[in-house]
Amino acid sequence: MHLFLKKISMKNIEELFKKVNKESIVLSEHKNNLKNYLLNSDYFCKKEKKNLSDFKLAFGSVIFSVFILAIIFIYFSSYTKPLEIADINNFEKEIRTPQTFSMSKALDTAVDEKETLYNKLIKKENVIINQKIWQEQEVIVLEVFEDNLKTIYYFNKDKNILLHSEIQSK
């Protein structure tokens, strides 16, 4: 395998390269197999997985939002506005004047013990229960006899507010 050149020069060497058969060799089977392998590789599947994970993320977000909204709804549906401290102070200031002190105390007692004061009194011995009109309203009057004193309690008709009380000697 020898080549015969008139003169060996750099140009001749370059000429040798040009004489090489540069026609493309095609291995169609290998080409197709490789292409299919590459097109089915993780690189292209990742996009689909990513899309799926995007969907999962979006779905999760929706569920989470619904959950938060449900909690907010439940909270506000059972919410009662708390009494402002300022309102309490005003209320107390108004009530606790010297003129109204004794009434206030009685009311406080009635409110504090609204479920028990009336019941407590009617459980005592020597109690007379009456119903009558007092200061243009229907009231329940309890007359409690103790020692030589008679204490009269005026309750509203629902028996939960003490309207007035007085002590009389027998």
Partner 1 sequence: MDIKELVGKSKNKDREAFSELFDFYYDKIFNYVFRRTLNIDYAKDITSNTFLKVLKYLNDFKWKGGDNSFNAWIYKIATNEINQYFRKQNKYKLIVDEENFKELGDCGETVREIENRLENDEYLLILNKGMKQLKPIYQDILHLRYFEELSYEEISKILSKNETTIRVYSKRALEKLKLILEKDALVFKEN
**Contact residues for partner 1, defined by CB under 8 A:** 1-8, 10, 12-14, 16-22, 24-31, 33-35, 37-41, 43-44, 46-47
Walk across the sheet containing 127-134 and list its strands.
127-134, 137-146, 149-156, 162-169
Q: Residue 10 or 85: which CB sits closer to partner 1?
A: 10
User: What minimum distance in Å lies between the beta carbon of 66 and partner 1?
Assistant: 33
User: What minimum distance in Å lies between the beta carbon of 62 and partner 1?
Assistant: 26
User: What minimum distance in Å lies between the beta carbon of 44 and partner 1?
Assistant: 5
Q: Residue 12 or 53: which CB sits closer to partner 1?
A: 12
User: What minimum distance in Å lies between the beta carbon of 52 and partner 1?
Assistant: 14
Q: Residue 21 or 77: which CB sits closer to partner 1?
A: 21
The three-point CA angle 157-163-167 to 5° equals 115
**162 CB burial (10 A radius; 0-12, 13-18, 19+):** buried
3-state secondary structure of 34: helix
Q: Residue 14 or 158: which CB sits closer to partner 1?
A: 14
Residue 125: C-alpha distances to residues 12, 15, 66, 92, 143 (Å): 140, 137, 61, 36, 11
